[in-house]
Structures are given as structure tokens and as C-alpha cells.
Amino acid sequence: MRNHLTIDLEDWFCVSNFDALIQRSSWASCDFRVADSTRRLLELFDRRGVKATFFVLGWVAERDPALIREVAEAGHEIACHGYGHERLTQIDAPRFDADLGRALTVLRGLVDAPVVGYRAPSFSLTERTLWAIPILRKHGIRWDSSVFPFGGHPEYGVARAPLSPYPLADDLVELPLSWKKPRTIFVNSMSDLFHQAIPVEFIQRVFDVMRRANWHQYQVLTKRSQRLLDLDACLNWQPHIWMGVSVETQDYQFRIDHLRQTRAHTKFLSLEPLLGPLPHLDLTRIDWVIVGGESGPGARPMKPAWVTEIRDQCQAAGVPFFFKQWGGVHKVKNGRELEGRTWDEMPCIGETTTSGAVHFRRKTRCDKRSRSREIVPVR
């Protein structure tokens, strides 16, 4: 693998989370979005002089060969993510053999550089699927990056797996994903955990994983606030699981009331993309407010007065205010300064006062060393 930065090149409907909802046979009729988003990435990488390794799904390569050639011609490395995003844990050896062979035929037909790297869909190379190793070797795979060195997930990961490269077989090296340092994890950043199609049992399992992997901090964001409230009683809330709702206009302020009624320890609002003024926010028992404008082609503009009005309400209520970005078509150019400065306030973790309430350090981002895992929000 030539690069530290890796991308799984697949479309939204290919992911394992949607397995039960979107049949493979209907992929062809789904809205094909990955070409646009990949080109946006290519542009960004080009501007910053960054190279990445792309794990390409064979199905996507077959659907849009020009896209894959573009990625390769821009100097990025092409590796394989299988053909149909079938998890090794769900299929047998002959089926994996066929899936991998098909994907490699497509990819090797498209790019000149040798395609010798592989990442299993949803990191499904685990202790249960080691039978895949000889098949990888048979197809000329020389390095693999599928083993998640983490034992807390019900579907993937190998507890206590090495964190640096190691041989899987004589001529096949594993380059594990690194994940050990505590970090903030946005849960379902591209989808919604509380979508009505997600079974309660699955949501509870996600909460259980978060509870066990308590060295990370999780930020769960939803638009389905009614379902969140309905399920609140059966969720195992922990201090390191932060819960937020999206509010884009006044029409959706009811989501804040739903959030407020839950037992989540730390509650935040994501006012992003902000599409209108929010002059009457009730910030009672809300611990953090994030504001951002829409970005990308066709982005709807955000008025500075809407942002300052929200900031003033946060200041009046003593709620940390984080201004993420102006957004717009040229998001980077528009920056993230409001009235001449950035606003990076966050709920400061671990600085508790004698009354048991968190002391929020204002105006600056809490420095990482000052954070402990104890989160005691203001009540």
C-alpha cells in the first residue's frame, strides 16, 4: 500500500447497513452518486497535493470505468474492495473466489499499475474467515488491509490483533487499520441510526458496542427525533455517547424538545445546514450548539445575521457555540470566521465544579490533554 490515506470507493447503496433494504439486483436503478463525490475528492486531493489508495468496488468500476481510470491517472493507487460488497462472514469460499476474481478482472483491465491490494467489505476478514487468505494469494493479492484491530463490534474486528504490519501468509502482508487512540466518532455520519427501517435490536447493539469501546467519544446525530424519544427508555446511555438533533429551520425546532426529553448525558444541536433564522431557540439542558452553512454545488446561502443571533442566544444561555463553516460553493475560500475570529467552543469534559456541573471553558477549543472520559453535563 503506497498511502496512509485510504478511500473505499463504493456508492451509498452498496454499504452493508443497507443489505436488508436494497437488493443487489436493484443497485442499477439507484441514484448513482459516487462519481460526483469521488471527483470532488480528486479535486481536493489535487489542490492539497495528497495521494490516496482507493479500494474500488468491482461493481462500481464496471458501471463507471472512466471514473476509475481518472482516479488512477491522477496518480492514486487502485486496490480491490471485492465485486458485490459481499461480506466474507456471509458467503463461502467458492463464492468469495468468484467475487474476488470478477472484481480483479474488471480493475486489472482498467489500470496499468498492478492491482495487488485488497480490503474486505465491512472489514469482514476476521478469525471466522481466515479461509479467505489462500484465495487472496491465489489471485495475486500481495497486501491486505481488512483486519480491524478491535474486538467490540458484533460484525467485524479481531480483538488484540497487531497494530503494525504483519504477515498473513508468506507473501501476503496485513496492513491493519489503526484505531487505537481515543477519538471522536461520528456515528452514521452519512445515514440515520434512528431511521424507521433500522430495527431496535440493531440500534441497541450499536449502543452496546459504544458502551464497551468507551475510550472513544461518540457523537450520534439524528433527524428522527420522535423515534429517538420513543426508544429512549431502552437505550443504554453512557457519558461518552453524545446525542444530537439536526435543525435546519424553525419548522424543525420540535426536534430539540424531543432531544431534551431523552436521558442522553450530553445533548447537542447541529444547526447545519442552516437555512433560515432561529430567533427563539430553547437551549434549556442543551450542552452544545454547532452551526454551519450548506456547501457544494447549488449550496443555499446562510445569512451572517442568522449566525450571530444564534451565537448571542448561546452566550446568553451559557451554551458553548461552535461555528463550523460558512459553506457555499467554495467552502474553503469562505472559511469559518465570524466577526473576525473562529468559534470553537465545546463542552469541556472533566472540568466539574463543586455543584457537579461542567465548567465550560469559553472561547477556545478544550485542549485534548484536559479531557478525561468523565462527562458531566450542565443540568
Helix (H, G, I), strand (E, B) or coil at 23: coil
Beta carbon of residue 79, minimum distance to Zn ion (angstroms, whole number): 12
Beta carbon of residue 286, minimum distance to Zn ion (angstroms, whole number): 35
Of residues 35 and 338, the one with the C-beta less far from Zn ion? 35
Where does residue 84 fall: left (phi above 0), alpha (psi -120 to 50 degrees), or beta otherwise?
alpha
Of residues 83 and 326, the one with the C-beta less far from Zn ion? 83
Query: Distances from the Cα of 308 to the Cαs of 126, 235, 269, 294, 315, in angstroms?
Result: 50, 35, 16, 17, 10
Of residues 149 and 244, the one with the C-beta less far from Zn ion? 149
The order of strands in the sheet holding 143-144 is 6-9, 53-56, 77-80, 117-118, 143-144, 172-174, 166-169
288 neighbors 269 (Cβ within 8 angstroms)? yes
138 neighbors 165 (Cβ within 8 angstroms)? no
- 273 cis-preceded (ω within 30 degrees of 0): yes
Of residues 121 and 149, the one with the C-beta less far from Zn ion? 121
- Closest-CB residue for Zn ion? 8
260 neighbors 225 (Cβ within 8 angstroms)? no
Of residues 158 and 247, the one with the C-beta less far from Zn ion? 158
Closest Cα to residue 41, out of 60, 32, 54? 54
Of residues 10 and 192, the one with the C-beta less far from Zn ion? 10
302 neighbors 274 (Cβ within 8 angstroms)? yes
Where does residue 339 fall: left (phi above 0), alpha (psi -120 to 50 degrees), or beta otherwise?
left
Beta carbon of residue 85, minimum distance to Zn ion (angstroms, whole number): 6
Beta carbon of residue 80, minimum distance to Zn ion (angstroms, whole number): 11
Helix (H, G, I), strand (E, B) or coil at 213: coil
Beta carbon of residue 15, minimum distance to Zn ion (angstroms, whole number): 6
Residues, the chain:
379
Beta carbon of residue 223, minimum distance to Zn ion (angstroms, whole number): 24
Of residues 129 and 225, the one with the C-beta less far from Zn ion? 129
Q: Dihedral, CA atoms, 77, 82, 84, 90, nearest 10 degrees?
A: -150
Of residues 10 and 345, the one with the C-beta less far from Zn ion? 10
How many angstroms separate the CA atoms of 67 and 145, rounded?
Answer: 23
Beta carbon of residue 122, minimum distance to Zn ion (angstroms, whole number): 6
Beta carbon of residue 53, minimum distance to Zn ion (angstroms, whole number): 14
Residue in the structure block whose three cell numbers are 482498467? 110
236 neighbors 211 (Cβ within 8 angstroms)? yes
Of residues 87 and 224, the one with the C-beta less far from Zn ion? 87
147 neighbors 178 (Cβ within 8 angstroms)? no
Beta carbon of residue 102, minimum distance to Zn ion (angstroms, whole number): 16
Residues that bind Zn ion (CB under 5 A): 8, 10, 121
